[in-house]
Amino acid sequence: MNDSTDVQGRLAEKRFKLTRVGVKGVKKPIVVKRPWGERTLNATIDVFVDLPSDQKGSHMSRNVEVTGELVDKTVREPVEGLENLAASMCESLLERHEYASYSEVDIRSDYFLERESPERKKSLENYQIRAKGEGYRDGSIKKYIGATVIGWTTCPCAMEGVREKFKEKYFGISEEIEEMPVITHNQRNNTTLMMEVPPEKEVEVNDLINIIEDSLSSPTHEILKREDEAKAVIQAHKNPKFVEDVVRDILSKILKKYEDFSPSTHVEVKSESEESIHKHNAVAERVTTFEELRK
Amino acid sequence: MNDSTDVQGRLAEKRFKLTRVGVKGVKKPIVVKRPWGERTLNATIDVFVDLPSDQKGSHMSRNVEVTGELVDKTVREPVEGLENLAASMCESLLERHEYASYSEVDIRSDYFLERESPERKKSLENYQIRAKGEGYRDGSIKKYIGATVIGWTTCPCAMEGVREKFKEKYFGISEEIEEMPVITHNQRNNTTLMMEVPPEKEVEVNDLINIIEDSLSSPTHEILKREDEAKAVIQAHKNPKFVEDVVRDILSKILKKYEDFSPSTHVEVKSESEESIHKHNAVAERVTTFEELRK
Amino acid sequence: MNDSTDVQGRLAEKRFKLTRVGVKGVKKPIVVKRPWGERTLNATIDVFVDLPSDQKGSHMSRNVEVTGELVDKTVREPVEGLENLAASMCESLLERHEYASYSEVDIRSDYFLERESPERKKSLENYQIRAKGEGYRDGSIKKYIGATVIGWTTCPCAMEGVREKFKEKYFGISEEIEEMPVITHNQRNNTTLMMEVPPEKEVEVNDLINIIEDSLSSPTHEILKREDEAKAVIQAHKNPKFVEDVVRDILSKILKKYEDFSPSTHVEVKSESEESIHKHNAVAERVTTFEELRK
Amino acid sequence: MNDSTDVQGRLAEKRFKLTRVGVKGVKKPIVVKRPWGERTLNATIDVFVDLPSDQKGSHMSRNVEVTGELVDKTVREPVEGLENLAASMCESLLERHEYASYSEVDIRSDYFLERESPERKKSLENYQIRAKGEGYRDGSIKKYIGATVIGWTTCPCAMEGVREKFKEKYFGISEEIEEMPVITHNQRNNTTLMMEVPPEKEVEVNDLINIIEDSLSSPTHEILKREDEAKAVIQAHKNPKFVEDVVRDILSKILKKYEDFSPSTHVEVKSESEESIHKHNAVAERVTTFEELRK
């Protein structure tokens, strides 16, 4: 075909720059290599560039070509970390969209890690991981890696309310009850941590998953026989947490673990509990930089 | 336009009857009138008929016309029960699709009822209601009404496991602990009851909602101040329930409440708990008739 | 209960400020009054405040109380615009959370408007509306109103590609074909416009819906008989649009319609096409201020 | 723990049999081996058994154990077809739930196949596959395999309506226009085929995907450059299809391909188009047996 059919390349009538133009929901298998082995992830990918004010359309098929080429390469040459794949894609996008000044790639995937129950029974637990890249025309790239963990929160407030009532009612056991974990509402929680990986630094996504999971009242387990179940319940109730506590505990651990990361390092933490006691959810969130957190 | 453009009315090349053909996801406001007042529901509606083997296509715009006419009429003349609206739509569908031998209408909507917390604080709680109609060429109509309730279940098994462990540990309080509700995992649950309304009978959807809500460990409440929250937690833990228990309690109450309903009355109950202790859900279900239940 | 059970009010161990803490997914009916009449909306609401670094928890039941009180008031005294309800809720939240410096309310609802098909057949079309408020301790409030419209886009690029091929093949009709709308892929599209309402100004949400709908290749219609359907198809193909075009046309109309709005007025437009030709979606987006757009 | 904590094993108070009790949404990687190679699928699994009227609860952890053991075995010993894994799981479930008379397993997963565009450009296209098993105490097992394919439908009715109008308007080209594909609405469609695999027979899931894809107006493609896009549009418009046509074409191909399958073989086909011209979807469905289809 001749150039007259490059409708995207024509002059735009309404001259407005567009922040992001591209494709959303491309599904691809990706082979990832980490120190501990290889994994085939079934990923969902969004790919965007910006569009200058004078160009009618973005050549979106280039986004899918970049995705196809770089992702398919991972079958022969597994990529070390999804965030690095996202960063390479961002570079490649700016090469092919010569008119763009910005590129963005977002990759999400199910992920599995082996875990142990309190009784040391092994199971494969499911997590969600997410990587993001942002490319700029000056050659700089920002990359992010993160995870969402499904866990368990037990409410500290209801526990104190019940303890107070129990102290009155079960007078004889008032001392023991001070140390005994008492009933409260508890629920499924999902918590997301997403953080920037500064240049020259590395972040292992399994560490992020561990940090989130350790900040909940308890992890969840796929298989729990009776003995295991009782122990998990006791553990979760010895460790009551608001969503606010979950977010702060993660922030605290992140600061410590990555203490040499630059002040501008971006971090987002969000914890959402599917309250058993309500029909709505409880949410706590912090979006910030390491600089703010270190104050 | 002339008849040559009635592509649907042409002879089908591949002669297979189709079970259901129609439209899905039509959104409409519906005005419903019950003994206790009027409500405007924002409903989502599916409308199907069957298609004989020799006809190429179903005239789907007729489905939407029937929906529009009968639903819009409710603004001037509120309908008494969604299941009656579904039934009228089924009749009207068979009139307009002269080639169809079966029609089906499914209506879902958010719904609200005023409730009281343990401390008698009022709030408007959210439910889902659902109505279904099935029309047959011989003039018979089946109609169904149902509801989905979000509530709360506390696990009886983990509670017994923990009680056993606590008896050993807190030896001095072994007697009190026999009667004291002890910790367990608890979670958000959604339970659906859908039942046939036999000819000449009526079912008030609020009764179905009450039956479901009373069969859970506890209802959920939109607003709970501290005193309320403690009471709700104690109530839920005095009433531990498997999803199996929830389904059976509902079946038992239904049989009693509608004891004069015919043996062929169809009923479906499904209870699903978003297990706080696992990443997956627990489900129990019964699909049956009153005849089977009465055995 | 005594103060020892105010667990939220305790000192936080990990001293981090939280950006947003609150409840998500509260469902409520809201009565809205506009110049053209009253509507009962079934809304879904999120309500957040921030949390200072030294306080353990936010009193989330206050969020639901504010929601209940102000929303229930609309039954007796319908609110003029969801964005005004969001703003009042933001004010009330800062009064009750004396420790918060920021409050945020997000309200989404289904919405219906009467429309006409090309043949002037009336139907009630479904839209989504959304309002947002942000309250600050200094007394300032920001409010936003917006809508999501489902419509129709026809691809200009594929149309030119096909026209080129048809010119070769159907040589005798090469002149007519220059003006004839030719085949292309077309698809369902959903486009969202969200804009700030500056102090002392008003925005009618129906105008925003009109602006979006007029910027698509064609609106969608609930009911289309054959004559109507042909006309709608022709109209949509006379007006081929990329998602980029949709966003720019909306920006252009907004600038004109609200030309007296202050430079800092925030606006977001996002158009997403469920490409019939691909399994993934095409997206274009602009997030900006009136100042940037006027350059 | 002693037997007193086997709460599930206790006598039920309300004596109703339950149709299905189990776990829903267990996520697992599964390694599948087919003649053409191995694949790691990220699957979502539901696992149920029935429950006799006199037993309080089902031991759900056994469901997850069976899942874990049989699925993990696929890493060392890849399973030949998901439906065979589902069948083995059904057998194992009946062994472990000695009180159950029925077991059911449902497995869904993303899936990828290499495809070519009209210009022979290769891409990896995404599909959903699904397998189901049903086990009975008499030792019989039913197994099912199926797939959901996202494709493309172009409406034959609107095309005829437009052709009629174009004939009047573009009088000089009335002959050419009889053969020229003219504009119509077209849209993303998803179609599901699920069929029983009779004992001693095999069904290759790739064949089912091919059958569905060949029954749509056109497959969708991840990457289409301009020349490809024009060809795909022309191909889709030369092949206009109602959802009714899609379902019947699949039924016809299935009957031919599996002509030696027993009359009782169950088959379900459902095609749903996300109508570009409406906000709702169009659906056609057939649920039947080979016996009925052969009449």
Residues with Cβ within 8 Å of residue C61, at least 6 apart in sequence: B223, B224, B225
Q: Which whole-number Å values give the CA distances from C4 to A159, A173, C1, C100, in the listed order? A: 12, 20, 8, 21
Distance in angstroms (rounded) separating the CA atoms of residues C230 and A175: 81
Find, in chain C, the residue whose alpha carbon is nearest to that of B8. Answer: C226
| The pLDDT of residue C23 is above 50 | yes
- State whether C277 and D224 contact (CB < 8 Å): yes
pLDDT interval class at A85 (50, 70, 90) = very high
Residues D6-35 have a mean pLDDT of: 91
Q: Quote the percentage of chain C above a pLDDT of 90.
A: 81
| Alpha-helical runs (H) found in chain D | 60-76, 82-96, 156-169, 174-179, 205-215, 226-237, 243-257, 290-294
**Phi, psi values for residue B2, rounded to 5°:** -90, 180
**Phi, psi values for residue D7, rounded to 5°:** -65, -35
Would you list which residues of chain B are within 8 Å, Cβ to Cβ, of chain C?
A: 1, 5-6, 26-29, 40-42, 61, 64-65, 68, 72, 110, 112, 123-124, 126, 222-227, 230
- For residue D281, list chain B residues with Cβ-Cβ distance below 8 A: 23-25
Distance in angstroms (rounded) separating the CA atoms of residues C159 and D183: 10
Q: What pLDDT, in 10s, does the model give residues C163-190? A: 988 888 876 665 666 778 999 999 999 9
Question: Which residue among B1, B4, B164 sits closest to D5, beta carbon to beta carbon?
Answer: B164
Cα distance from A207 to chain C (closest Cα, Å)?
Answer: 20
Q: Quote the percentage of chain A above a pLDDT of 70.
A: 96
- State whether C276 and D279 contact (CB < 8 Å): no
- For residue A275, list chain B residues with Cβ-Cβ distance below 8 A: 188, 220
* Touching subunits for chain C (3+ Cβ pairs under 8 A): A, B, D
Name which of D210, D291, D276 is nearest D249 in CA terms.
D210
| The pLDDT of residue A277 is above 60 | yes
- State whether C225 and B126 contact (CB < 8 Å): no
Cα distance from A58 to chain B (closest Cα, Å)?
Answer: 33
pLDDT at B35: 77
pLDDT at B172: 61
Q: In this structure, what token pair is assigned to residue B249?
A: 């309690």
- State whether B25 and D279 contact (CB < 8 Å): yes
- State whether B245 and D56 contact (CB < 8 Å): yes
Interior/surface letters B232-271, b for 16+ CB within 10 angstroms, e for the rest? bbbbbbebbbbbbbbbbbbbbbbbeebeebeeebebbbbb
pLDDT interval class at D13 (50, 70, 90) = confident
Half-sphere exposure of A192 (CA within 13 A, CB side): 16
Half-sphere exposure of B234 (CA within 13 A, CB side): 17
Pairing of strands C218-219, C186-196: unpaired
Distance in angstroms (rounded) separating the CA atoms of residues A120 and A74: 35
Q: What pLDDT, in 10s, does the model give residues A120-143? A: 999 899 999 999 999 999 999 999
- State whether B124 and C29 contact (CB < 8 Å): yes
Q: In this structure, what token pair is assigned to residue C251?
A: 């920006």
pLDDT at B4: 63
Cα distance from A59 to chain D (closest Cα, Å)?
Answer: 9
pLDDT at A67: 94
SS3 B154: strand
Cα distance from B252 to chain C (closest Cα, Å)?
Answer: 31
| The pLDDT of residue C279 is above 70 | yes
| The pLDDT of residue A1 is above 50 | no
- State whether C230 and B42 contact (CB < 8 Å): no
- For residue B68, list chain C residues with Cβ-Cβ distance below 8 A: 123-124, 222-223
Question: Which residue among B6, B27, B65 sits closest to C126, beta carbon to beta carbon?
Answer: B27
State chain A's mean pLDDT as an integer: 93
Distance in angstroms (rounded) separating the CA atoms of residues B94 and B90: 7
Interior/surface letters B202-223, b for 16+ CB within 10 angstroms, e for the rest? ebebbbbbbbbbebbbbbbbbb
Residues A167-192 have a mean pLDDT of: 83
Cα distance from C246 to chain D (closest Cα, Å)?
Answer: 16
Is D76 buried (19+), middle (13-18) or exposed (0-12) by CB count in 10 A? Answer: exposed
- For residue D41, list chain A residues with Cβ-Cβ distance below 8 A: 42
SS3 B98: coil
Q: Which residue has the higher pLDDT, A141 or A13?
A: A141
* Residues, chain B: 295
pLDDT at B1: 44
- State whether B124 and C1 contact (CB < 8 Å): no
Distance in angstroms (rounded) separating the CA atoms of residues A56 and B63: 40
Distance in angstroms (rounded) separating the CA atoms of residues D276 and A242: 45
Residues with Cβ within 8 Å of residue D2, at least 6 apart in sequence: B164
Residues with Cβ within 8 Å of residue A292, at least 6 apart in sequence: none
State chain D's mean pLDDT as an integer: 93
Which ipTM score applies to this complex? 0.93
**In this predicted structure, which of B16-20, C86-90, C107-111, D161-165 has the lowest mean pLDDT?**
D161-165
Q: What is the DSSP letter of D79?
A: B
| The pLDDT of residue D207 is above 90 | yes
State the CB neighbour count (10 A cutoff) for residue A4: 10
Q: Which residue has the higher pLDDT, C123 or D188?
A: D188
Secondary structure tally for chain C: helices H, strands E: 8, 9
Distance in angstroms (rounded) separating the CA atoms of residues A81 and A86: 9
CA C90 from chain center: how many Å? 19
* Residues, chain A: 295
Question: Which residue among D8, D18, D23 sits closest to B280, beta carbon to beta carbon?
Answer: D23
Q: In this structure, what token pair is assigned to residue B265?
A: 């009355």
- For residue A229, list chain B residues with Cβ-Cβ distance below 8 A: 157-158, 161, 185, 277
- State whether C227 and B1 contact (CB < 8 Å): yes
Q: Which residue has the higher pLDDT, C8 or A232?
A: A232
Q: At what angle do helices C156-169 and D226-237 cross, to 10 degrees?
A: 80
* Touching subunits for chain B (3+ Cβ pairs under 8 A): A, C, D
Name which of D182, D201, D187, D221 is nearest D261 in CA terms.
D201
Would you list which residues of chain C are within 8 Å, Cβ to Cβ, of chain B?
A: 1, 5-6, 26-29, 40-42, 61, 64-65, 68, 72, 110, 112, 123-124, 126, 222-227, 230
Residues with Cβ within 8 Å of residue C215, at least 6 apart in sequence: C191, C241, C245, C246, C249, C250, C253
* Touching subunits for chain D (3+ Cβ pairs under 8 A): A, B, C
Distance in angstroms (rounded) separating the CA atoms of residues A142 and A91: 11
SS3 A100: coil
| The pLDDT of residue A72 is above 80 | yes
Question: Which residue among C16, C243, C278 sits closest to A286, beta carbon to beta carbon?
Answer: C16
Residues with Cβ within 8 Å of residue D165, at least 6 apart in sequence: C230, C234
Question: Which residue among A1, A110, A222 sits closest to D42, beta carbon to beta carbon?
Answer: A110
- State whether D251 and B16 contact (CB < 8 Å): yes
The sign one gets for the Cα dihedral D157, D161, D162, D166 is: positive
pLDDT along chain B (295 residues), means of 10: 72 91 96 83 97 95 94 88 96 97 98 93 94 98 98 96 86 68 96 97 96 98 92 96 97 97 98 97 98 94
State chain C's mean pLDDT as an integer: 93
Q: Look up the pTM and report it.
A: 0.96
Is D210 buried (19+), middle (13-18) or exposed (0-12) by CB count in 10 A? Answer: middle
Distance in angstroms (rounded) separating the CA atoms of residues A185 and A275: 8
